[in-house]
Amino acid sequence: MHIPGNFWFPGIVLVLLSIGFFSPVFPSLTIETKEGKVLYSTPWSKGDRFELSYLHSVNKSPITDLFTVRDGKILLIASRFHSFGAGVAALPEESGGHVRVGREYLEYVGIEREMPALGVFVPREANTTFRYGKEAIPLNRLSPPGTLLRIRLTRQSLAARFFLR
């Protein structure tokens, strides 16, 4: 059976569109279980920052850690807290880091501690909250207390962006 040449073109276009739609090319910040189940994913742009806020387990004061991504690795770039105390480091470990006194908090800056992925335990009482852009998501809404979550930079396809959001 002979198939005329003009039937090949739509097929090739369909294959190319499918590859483009399902190829993971868009950087995304993803929160997933240790088994890899995606609980939250959002587009990520170079230079963006996100925060994790929680109550310190000993002195019960709020702490906010600020992160960014460079070269595919998550970097802790600053940590805000309200007072020194048990369990709060006295000086930054990283060279170049220093404490800045703000109006409402103290802040370690210049940390730049890198990690390939960020593991976060969902506690019962610390009310750990993920903040990115205008979103603030308590982690206990994504997963029950006692769960270990992983935050990392991934790549998503156009299809995943369309269906996961």
In-domain check, residue 91 = yes
Residue 75 has what pLDDT?
92
Contact yes or no for 81/116 (Cβ under 8 A): no
Residue 39 has what pLDDT?
94
In-domain check, residue 43 = yes
Residue 148 has what pLDDT?
95
Surface-to-core class of residue 124, CB atoms within 10 Å of its CB (0-12 exposed, 13-18 middle, 19+ buried): exposed
Residue 157 has what pLDDT?
60
In-domain check, residue 77 = yes
In-domain check, residue 17 = no
Q: What is the tally of structural domains in the chain?
A: 1
In-domain check, residue 13 = no
Give kind and range of the element (H or E) at residue 18. helix 8-22
Distances 7 to 3, 20, 118, 119 between C-alpha atoms, Å = 7, 21, 49, 51
Residue 120 has what pLDDT?
93
In-domain check, residue 73 = yes
In-domain check, residue 56 = yes
Domain limits at 97?
Answer: 26-164
Closest CA to 56 of 126, 136, 108: 126
In-domain check, residue 92 = yes
pLDDT in tens, the chain (165 residues): 555 556 666 666 565 555 555 555 688 899 999 999 999 989 898 899 999 998 877 777 888 999 999 888 899 999 888 766 555 555 555 566 777 887 877 787 888 888 867 999 998 877 899 999 999 999 999 999 999 999 998 877 666 556 655
